[in-house]
Amino acid sequence: MADRLRALAHLRICDFTGQLAGAGATRWLAAFGAQVIRIEDPTNQGRWDILRGGEPYKDDRRGIEFGGGFQNHNVEKLGITLNLRTERGKDLLRELVRVSDVVTENYAAGVLDRWGFGFEQLKALRDDIIYVSNCGFGQRGPYREFRTWGPIVQACCGLTFASGLPDMESAGWGFSYMDHHGGNFMAVAILAALVHRQRTGEGQWVDMSCTEAGASMLGPVVLDYTVNGRPLRRAGMPSSNRSQFPRMAPHGIYPCAGDDEWLAIAVRDERDWSAVRDTMQLPDRDRFGDEDVLDAEIASWTCSRDKFVVADVLQSRRVPAAAVLKPHERIDDDENTAAWGLWPTVSHREMGEVRVDGVPVHFSETDWRIENGAPCLGQHNDAVFGGLLGLSSDEIDTLRAEGVI
Amino acid sequence: MVEPPGGHHTRGYEPFADDEPGLERSLWWWHYNTSKKGVVLALDDPRFAALVDTADLVLEAHYLDDAPHRARRPELIWVSVTPFGRAEGGLRQATDLTVLAGGPVWSCGYDDHSIPPVRGGGNQGYHTASLFAVASALTAYLARTVHGVGQLVDVNMHACANVTTEAASYDWLVAQRTVQRMTGRHAGVNLSTASIAPAADGRMVHTGVPPRSAREFASLLRWLGELGLRDAYPESFFLDMGVERGGVQMTELRIDAEAMAIFNAGREAMRFLAERLPAYEFFVGAQRCGLAAGIVYSPEEVITDPHFVARGFPVEIYHDEIGRSAVHLGLPFVCQAAPGAITRAPHLGEHDAEILGPLH
């Protein structure tokens, strides 16, 4: 019985988010049962979210209903269309806000305000409303108007610079890491505000800065500068395959047999080091002082060996080692992710059955559920405008005819 | 924060304040434990169970047995963070590096694949699991307020890393395509053009997503004009065309040579400008024109940037351990519930009397 409970089924989210930095936040809420109503602009077919019609495509079918990223990030949500250039559209949004717990968006700063739905207007509609905005530099400060995407956030917060090998340009991140964690920080902001409201009855506006969220994940490096005067921008740094904090050596990613095959090894202490030295028959060296030499010796040992075999050998001696997994290896061939149910299959109205990211946690009593694909454009107009707001089918038809939805 | 006698092991992590090791001098400890209270308590001390009985939530990473505690208090929320989930039971050893190897590392590194792929800096495998743990704790807390149930939450770090790879996962899930890593930009199925470039002062900038809308092409032309560079840029003609045809759509690029020429001219114009301006001037200039571009800051440069200072993001905290203040990173939220005032991490056993004193 208990596993049928939904953790957040008592909540309704009026959701303007898009891309991953915003959609990722409300994806979490929807997976735990919140009713997330995603609002899209019918006049441009929701194309503000550039992922809506973007690659990858299942069976190479293209169009606004076939974006693979959009589908992944918007599972379990409802989708409606609403033309906020019309007064009737604004009226309907007001009605929706009155019956919602949270309004979410990740537009550039001030967009909702210009539409007449800034926090004060939202609060006038519902006194305990929670409004969470997530924009690149936040809604206050000299850069409030600046526009960002994940890679720009990562560049401006220090994450790009911190990722790379010595004497080379920044490797940065090979994806929008801060879209993922922009969404995760935003989910935390929403949930924390809900807890605050539950305790005090107060709603509030949470102004989240995605760039600050990224910077906050580099704390020890920043303190090393503010306390010790040691910047990361110095000779020989960054060296992010090594481990300065906590200090470990050898610590790196080494070549293995095959095309673009790699193995990660982290030697934490003398016990690990003894096991690695014994396994690879390495000479006894100063593992911190001779790290360059040791890396070369380890690489010459691993380069002719299978990455999974070496990882197993080292793990059998309780040394942290792991193959660098290619997507198919961790999605199709990994026993742990399979047993976790990490890649659920959802049903999408146009795409059919598609596998998506699951949730990397399990709750014993109110676990997540992902079964339904992302909404097609306006897929839930009847359910929301009719079922929730009480409009008749004739009224909804009129809204369609007048371009309001 | 419940520490064992002698202190939590992360008190021994570098860097140390003034490079002097000491239980109260780890900057790692200082950062990750701000605003907490701290007690020293062995897990087999009877007061541990008594402390749990006063808690809403237990957060642990040691495969501790939740059952006796949850049996006593069914409303207790127990969040367990482990490398591969509790079912695997610690069979495999793991660190930040090996956890990330199982997920995002494949996508990160350089165009040259004879160079190893790269772990993103800052122990982000730990951060990733932490974020999911915090969201879980809050979600479970809200569930308890409605359903009255406590529960066990199992956070799997390997799974966390696996769902933090963006297109690497869904390109495979949707289309069975494998992305390839590229220097400083998104891994992809097809090779893309570099987006990080040197500015005139040698610093690096991110030239952003190239202009696509008519407004963006017009802004770019205006900026070139303001700098007296419009005639010097050989592809200005295509930027004019971008305005005249109302911008270009990404979907047009593969099928329309003119659209591709306009798109390429916009991208190259950003590089042209970057080469002629100091990095900060390029970043701010582009953004003032409505063009999304960035500067590659090192982490310590963020805290002196005027925007972050104006928002109060860098926070000064007095540290009696060293007799002076240190600037910390604050919270990324401005709101009533998180007023931004963080306090220093606890000393070893600092709150023993306050927290443990009333326990029996």
Among B17, B45, B12, B25, smallest CA distance to B352 is for: B45
pLDDT number for residue B338? 64
pLDDT number for residue A178? 98
Q: Name every residue whose Cβ is closer than 8 Å to that of residue A214 and which is 6 or more positions away in sequence.
A: A153, A154, A157, A158, A159, A177, A178, A181, A182
Residue A69 to residue A33: CA distance in whole angstroms:
21
Model confidence pLDDT, tens digit, residues A116-158? 999 999 999 999 999 999 999 999 999 999 999 999 999 999 9
pLDDT number for residue B339? 67
What mean pLDDT comes out for the span B157-172?
98
Q: Does B143 touch chain A (CB under 8 A)?
A: yes
pLDDT number for residue A4? 73
Of B131, B177, B178, the CB nearest to A185: B131
- Residue B357 CA, chain-centre distance (Å), reads 38
pLDDT number for residue A1? 39
pLDDT number for residue A3? 47
* Cross-chain Cβ contact A340/B93 below 8 Å: no
pLDDT number for residue B337? 67
Of B119, B127, B172, the CB nearest to A241: B119
Q: Does B77 touch chain A (CB under 8 A)?
A: no
3 state SS of B288: helix
Residue B141 to residue A23: CA distance in whole angstroms:
22
Nearest chain B alpha carbon to A255: B116
Report residue A135: phi and psi, to 5°. -130, 165
Ordered strands of the A204-209 beta sheet = A78-81, A35-40, A12-15, A102-105, A130-135, A204-209, B333-334
Nearest chain A alpha carbon to B75: A365
Residue B59 to residue B244: CA distance in whole angstroms:
59
Give the up-direction half-sphere exposure of residue A273: CA atoms within 13 A in the CB hemisphere. Answer: 16
* Cross-chain Cβ contact A325/B103 below 8 Å: yes
Give the up-direction half-sphere exposure of residue B2: CA atoms within 13 A in the CB hemisphere. Answer: 20
What mean pLDDT comes out for the span B314-334?
95
Q: Does the complex come out with an ipTM higher than 0.90?
A: yes
Task: Copy the structure tokens of residue B239.
Answer: 């930027």
pLDDT number for residue B254? 80
pLDDT number for residue B334? 87
**Residue B250: pLDDT band by 50, 70, 90 thresholds?**
confident
CB atoms within 10 A of CB A115: 16
Which chain B residues touch A56 with a CB distance below 8 Å? Answer: 167, 170-171, 174-175, 177, 189
Inter-CA distances, A192 with A33, A294, A357, Å: 17, 47, 24
Candidates A175, A267, A279, A310: best to mutate against B (most CBs of B within 10 A) is: A175
Task: Copy the structure tokens of residue A35.
Answer: 């009713």
Model confidence pLDDT, tens digit, residues B59-71? 999 999 999 999 9
Residue B65 to residue B302: CA distance in whole angstroms:
42
Query: Is the pLDDT confidence value at B192 over 80?
Result: yes
Percent of chain B with pLDDT over 70: 99
Interface size between A and B, measured as CB pairs under 8 A:
518
What mean pLDDT comes out for the span B127-134?
98
Task: Copy the structure tokens of residue B1.
Answer: 């924060």
Of B118, B141, B171, the CB nearest to A56: B171
Q: How confident is the prediction for chain B on average, in pLDDT?
A: 96
pTM surpassing 0.90? yes
Q: Which residues of chain A have pLDDT under 50?
A: 1-3
Of B13, B98, B208, the CB nearest to A246: B13
* Cross-chain Cβ contact B147/A5 below 8 Å: yes
Which chain B residues touch A215 with a CB distance below 8 Å? Answer: 299, 302, 308, 313, 329, 332
**List of E strands, A248-400:** 251-255, 262-266, 321-323, 345-348, 352-355, 361-363
Query: Is the pLDDT confidence value at B186 over 50?
Result: yes
pLDDT number for residue B13? 97
3 state SS of A104: strand
pLDDT number for residue A257? 98
Which residue reads 């495509």 in tokens?
A: A57
pLDDT number for residue B340? 62
Candidates A343, A365, A369, A370: best to mutate against B (most CBs of B within 10 A) is: A365
* Cross-chain Cβ contact B142/A198 below 8 Å: yes
Of B142, B169, B290, the CB nearest to A357: B169
